[in-house]
Structure 1
Amino acid sequence: MAKKHWLSGLAIVMSASLVAGCGSDSGSNNETAGSTNNESTGGTKTEEQAEKPLEKATFTYFVGASGKKDRNTNETTIGKLLEDQTGVNFKMEYLVGDLNTKIGTMIASNEYPDVLVPDAAIDKVIDAGGFIDLTPYIEKYENLKFVFGPYLNQMKAADGNIYILPFSTVVGEYMPDPNINQGAWWVQRRVLKEAGYPQIKTMDEYFKLIEDFVAKHPEENLTGFLSLTHDWRFFATSNQPMHLAGYPNDGNVLVDMNTFEAKTYAANEDTKRWAQKMNEINSKGLFDKSSFVDNYDQYIAKLASHKVVGFFDYGWQINNAQLNLKDAAKKDATQDDFVYFPLPVTFDGGKDQYLDPPGFVKNRGVGVTVSAKDPDRIMAFFDTLLSEENQIMRSWGIQGETYEVDANGRFYRTEEQILKIDEAFREQFGFKYFDWDWPQYNTNSTLSDGNALSPGLQPEVFQMGLTAEDKTILDKYGVKTYSELFAAPDERPWFPAWGIPKEQGSPQQIWETKKDELTKKYIPKLILAEPGDFEAVWQEYLGEFGKLDTAGYEKWYTEQIKAVIDSLK
């Protein structure tokens, strides 16, 4: 099968990167905001929707992730323009504290916000009957049908209903990202500059680079290495051995590309090798012990403080800190030293797989709850949001204000527009609030005229957005984009494996819960132990891990992955 057809089939039959994800610079344009010559590919509103009066309504919208301030959408430019079209405003609330506690309270009381993004607790809400079936609305509204129609079979829960609108539906062609929004080993740019821009490929090279820099700057009281462990984000720490071994983020398993056998790694030799290195880093005073007690906001604040030399994480997850650092560097070039640079580190410098291939994630998304006052009005809003004009608005903004269109119909941003779209502008305009957590074209989508949905993925915008310092460090490494530093992703039609759903109470879900409990208990012990005690702690961990039905978990995953492969034949 030709690669183009494989990827095209992939976008419809299979998996799309999340994260996840995760977020990128987004925004769009509707006719009232500043028109383009594009027609809405998604079709037109139904006659019933077009005739519906625009009486004002406010609905509650809870997002099970932190990092943003609670706000009404109509207090942003994008949200106000959408309210003008639909009469609908959303009162946005973001997670404070523990996700499972918050969702558990909703389930116990059977009282939910109108709209809910439960993130990692999605299966718990579905199992509790907290969401309504969205199937009739997808059939009713043209834009919903256009965006989600090709994915309906994958979106169905075990009972045949559809409870979630996923964030990973690629519309049009798949557009790769020139930035690093997935995993990487990050280091302050000044570290590379001072070292003469070395090629850092191995785990030992990476930590030696950090160790040498910290030793040369004792007066700065630097943190050599920081790690994120808060709540469900613990994967930013526990995933590190998987990536060092040369695998992408498939969750709890490593999938052999020849046999498609799935094997866990939480207690294998890769994890032991990584944990022993982290133990060594800690013994040298380079590891921030508060990594195991800091919450997400404290972590982001530390990354923005200029004191943290290096860390591993996913680009989408550190975006707030990195944008603040970049904003400062645009105003003062000397601040570029503190911007983080991504490195494709593996154990021994072999082929990396940090860049996600195209995929489809069905267990992350947004649902309308059983507490919703007017589900039809909410779904009508979602349909309006999913018109191509409004997807341009939430990604690009307003023509003449935040982007331009050249004689060939190509979208671009002027240098002045790029400079003004800092973090404060993104928040007030609404780019920050509409960049994720909504029914949307996936970040890697393209528009009907061939433009990238996301400005950050438009080649012209990416190059325009580079500062002189960006170009200098990229040139030192012989590349024009950050993604060129990393190996191209291998095609994985099941990707991501963690997106394969598991029923609540199933052996697979129980295994993951117990495994998470063990890793959260023993990874801190392994890293913080006296070096002479490491082996004893590791053996204790293996003993506890051996009580899990890991063979059954691996067998189930292998069957699921092979079923996906077979479905494409």
Structure 2
Amino acid sequence: MEPLKIVVGEPGRGAVDDCNKEALHHLFNPGEATQLIRRRNWQRGVLAGAAVVALMLQVACNSSGNGNATNGGASGSAGKPAESGAGASTDAGQAAEPVTLNGLASKHVFQADWNDMLVFQEREKETGTHIEWENVPDDGWVEKRNLRMATNDLPDFISRSGFSDADLANYAAQGMIIPLNDLIEQYAPNLKAILDANPTIKKAISDVNGNIYALPAINGWMGDNASKLWINKAWLDKLGIPMPTTLDEYYDALVAFRDQNPGGVSKVIPLTDFSSGFDRDMIYFAGSFGLGNKGPSFFGDGVDLGPDGKMRFIKTDERYKALLEFMNKLWTAKLLDPELLTHKSEAWTANSKAGLHGSFVLAAPESNKASDYEALPVLKSEYGDEVLSFVSSGLRKNNTVITSANKHPEETMKWFDYWYSDEGWVRLQYGIEGETYTVDQDGGYWWTEKYDPNIAPIEKSRGLFSPMFGDGIPYNMAADEFSKRPWIAEQMEASAINKIAAAADMLKPYYDPVLSNGTEPFLFTEEEQAVKKQFSDEAMQYISEMETKFITGKEPFSNWDSYVKKVNSLGLDKYMEVYNAALDRYNNL
């Protein structure tokens, strides 16, 4: 049977990246990131709140860990025999003879030349494997990468590739990149253990024929992956209002914020968001109506998993109508930020610093005074099957591919597998113990003064010794990373990491079913993609316009049936046939 030729659909209108968008906002906006990171005042022992939260998000999004190893530093143990299971410190990367590999990589603006990075130099001493890195700045990366592929001028591997699933399918069909399944089985004990323990990850990085063509990066810390609905607990306490548990109680609390201004601020914004538009709030509140049980990417395409185990279209469902009615209720009562449709992130930051926000959806609490905010459980509705719909698996696909020009694929796989281990993660994140970081008497980790990102900008601190800032090479950050390796006490408190972790634990019963359903987008054949594109261009555009009209009251809900009829007429049946065919393939992997 001829392998299926696949392409990947465009993300849905409401889709979000694997890492929460608010984290990426800090990660990949150099100007704002530079403003957020401030010099530490050692005499007072505190950091500016915004800087700390931004730093926490940078670590959570761009760092890796592994849950099955000891809480040790990055001192080398390359002489130890390989152990089975992720997190083992192994000598699997030791080459029988010195090997030189040519790696092509896109370089984040905050990263130094990868050839000069201490972590790679240290690993070369241990393994005899030398990497000649060709760094290409992000700005010109796609053109350079595509030219190399088009002219068949292939390096041994490509990292921080930016390849889409469609790119992988194309280059695999041409024989330019190689399948990694057997290499993982034989030479990657750390990654193999991760995939064996997490079949949904294995499915997500496999093509429709079960082949793996790229190594992923994995962020397992749910503090970052689970978005939360934060509320100003200080305001609630001042008004004598208990923490809301239902949508009605939440609405009443926002009304009290609006009318009584418990913070005594210039203006109260009961509910807001850092981005413009209703999408993020709708993704979150959908969970209260039992919708969005396959996460944000599928929600953006208007689908989730129905009770019959098949994909269902939710944007014509009566529960979706109830969601829009709830959003309309918030808008009509002036509880939603009136500038939500037009404001920029700068406005969010200014209002945050002024203490105007009553509630918002983010992975982390408000940066200017995190102690005032607490996370709510998923609010109950009349339906009783609530889920946390705004959650991701933390998977970053397609980081690294090995090309057909590589004469040492086994040594290449060994070299990359080390970074999935606990020891490898510590080295990528913190560097070399005693030189780039220290561990205090209480087990708290922090960077030495020369590499402290609160003293010097990232490009002159962490970016000097490791490519971790900006997602450099494959890694695995453990779910319990901050339990095993907390930061020094002042940083743990200032960054509210314990509060974020506790909130994620509280939400676990709500997000576990979503993650079990699988949150990574499906792959589609070319024919299926054509159907999806047509539906997106016509129906989803219409749906987007009508959502805004329903929420803002410009379209009465008495016209709901007409809206449903119009959506059905725009090819909904074929669209759902495509999605269910993709689901069947996914289930059979």
Q: Per the shorter chain, which TM-score range? A: 0.5 to 0.7
**How many percent of aligned residue pairs carry the same amino acid?**
14
Q: Does 1:535 align with 2:557?
A: yes
Per-residue CA deviation, residues 316-374 of structure 1 (Å, 9 max, x unaligned), is xxx6xx5xx65x6xxxxxx3456x5322233528464329999796x833243879999
TM-aligned CA deviation for residue 390 of structure 1: 1.4
Rounded to whole Å, the distance in 1 between the matches of 2:149 and 2:439 is: 47
Q: Does 1:156 align with 2:206?
A: yes
Rounded to whole Å, the distance in 1 between the matches of 2:475 and 2:394 is: 12
Rounded to whole Å, the distance in 1 between the matches of 2:208 and 2:489 is: 45
Rounded to whole Å, the distance in 2 between the matches of 1:301 and 1:287 is: 17
Rounded to whole Å, the distance in 1 between the matches of 2:569 and 2:470 is: 39
Conserved 8 A contact 2:160-2:399: yes
Per-residue CA deviation, residues 457-513 of structure 1 (Å, 9 max, x unaligned), is 439779996539969x97xxxx99223533525865983444262224343774377
TM-aligned CA deviation for residue 537 of structure 1: 6.8
Conserved 8 A contact 1:188-1:309: yes
Q: Which residue does 1:275 correspond to in 2?
A: 324
For residue 199 of structure 1, give the secondary structure of its aligned residue in structure 2.
coil
TM-aligned CA deviation for residue 182 of structure 1: 0.8
The verdict on how the C-alpha distance between 1:463 and 1:87 changes in structure 2, with shifts beyond 3 A counting, is same
**2:357 maps to amino acid:** V
Residue number among 236, 242, 260 corresponding to 2:286 in the alignment = 242
Rounded to whole Å, the distance in 2 between the matches of 1:388 and 1:505 is: 40
Q: Which residue does 2:226 correspond to in 1?
A: 182
Q: Does 1:393 align with 2:427?
A: yes
**1:60 maps to amino acid:** A
Q: Does 1:133 align with 2:178?
A: yes
Residue number among 398, 413, 434 corresponding to 2:444 in the alignment = 413
Rounded to whole Å, the distance in 1 between the matches of 2:428 and 2:304 is: 36
Residue number among 323, 326, 346 corresponding to 2:379 in the alignment = 346
Q: Does 1:546 align with 2:588?
A: no
Q: Which residue does 1:51 correspond to in 2?
A: 98
Residue number among 339, 349, 357 corresponding to 1:309 in the alignment = 357
RMSD: 5.6
For residue 556 of structure 2, give the secondary structure of its aligned residue in structure 1.
helix
The verdict on how the C-alpha distance between 1:557 and 1:526 changes in structure 2, with shifts beyond 3 A counting, is closer
For residue 220 of structure 1, give the secondary structure of its aligned residue in structure 2.
coil
Counterparts of residues 316-395 of structure 1 (less than 5 Å): 335-336=369-370, 340-348=373-381, 350=384, 352-354=386-388, 364-368=397-401, 382-395=416-429
Rounded to whole Å, the distance in 2 between the matches of 1:91 and 1:468 is: 35
Q: Which residue does 1:287 correspond to in 2?
A: 336
Conserved 8 A contact 1:123-1:503: no
Q: Which residue does 2:164 correspond to in 1?
A: 122
Residue number among 474, 483, 495 corresponding to 2:516 in the alignment = 495
Conserved 8 A contact 2:236-2:243: no
TM-aligned CA deviation for residue 224 of structure 1: 3.6
For residue 366 of structure 1, give the secondary structure of its aligned residue in structure 2.
strand
Conserved 8 A contact 1:43-1:146: no
TM-aligned CA deviation for residue 71 of structure 1: 5.7
For residue 526 of structure 2, give the secondary structure of its aligned residue in structure 1.
coil
Structure of larger gyration radius: 2
Residue number among 481, 484, 492 corresponding to 1:458 in the alignment = 484
**2:254 maps to amino acid:** I
The number of equivalent residue pairs is: 493
Rounded to whole Å, the distance in 2 between the matches of 1:144 and 1:487 is: 26
**1:346 maps to amino acid:** L
For residue 434 of structure 1, give the secondary structure of its aligned residue in structure 2.
coil
Conserved 8 A contact 1:262-1:554: yes
Conserved 8 A contact 1:187-1:342: yes
The verdict on how the C-alpha distance between 1:105 and 1:391 changes in structure 2, with shifts beyond 3 A counting, is closer
**1:309 maps to amino acid:** H
Q: Which residue does 1:225 correspond to in 2?
A: 271
Rounded to whole Å, the distance in 2 between the matches of 1:493 and 1:285 is: 32
Conserved 8 A contact 1:186-1:342: yes
Per-residue CA deviation, residues 371-390 of structure 1 (Å, 9 max, x unaligned), is 99999697665344334421
Larger displacement relative to structure 2 (483-492 or 385-394): 483-492
For residue 266 of structure 1, give the secondary structure of its aligned residue in structure 2.
coil
TM-aligned CA deviation for residue 416 of structure 1: 10
For residue 364 of structure 1, give the secondary structure of its aligned residue in structure 2.
strand
Larger displacement relative to structure 2 (33-42 or 541-550): 33-42
TM-aligned CA deviation for residue 51 of structure 1: 1.1
The verdict on how the C-alpha distance between 1:392 and 1:202 changes in structure 2, with shifts beyond 3 A counting, is same
Per-residue CA deviation, residues 128-169 of structure 1 (Å, 9 max, x unaligned), is 438722427546744576457746973432355422223359
Conserved 8 A contact 1:243-1:353: yes
TM-aligned CA deviation for residue 183 of structure 1: 2.7
Conserved 8 A contact 2:274-2:348: no
**1:412 maps to amino acid:** G
Rounded to whole Å, the distance in 2 between the matches of 1:292 and 1:526 is: 13
Per-residue CA deviation, residues 59-100 of structure 1 (Å, 9 max, x unaligned), is 33278xxxx85664568765775687744557475689xxxx
- Structure 1: gaps spanning 5 or more residues: 1-17, 97-101, 171-175, 329-334, 446-451
Q: Which residue does 1:7 correspond to in 2?
A: none
Conserved 8 A contact 2:233-2:374: yes
The TM-score with structure 1 as length reference comes to 0.64
TM-aligned CA deviation for residue 204 of structure 1: 3.4
For residue 198 of structure 1, give the secondary structure of its aligned residue in structure 2.
coil
Conserved 8 A contact 1:165-1:365: yes
Q: Which residue does 2:305 correspond to in 1?
A: 255
The verdict on how the C-alpha distance between 1:50 and 1:19 changes in structure 2, with shifts beyond 3 A counting, is farther
Conserved 8 A contact 1:117-1:367: yes
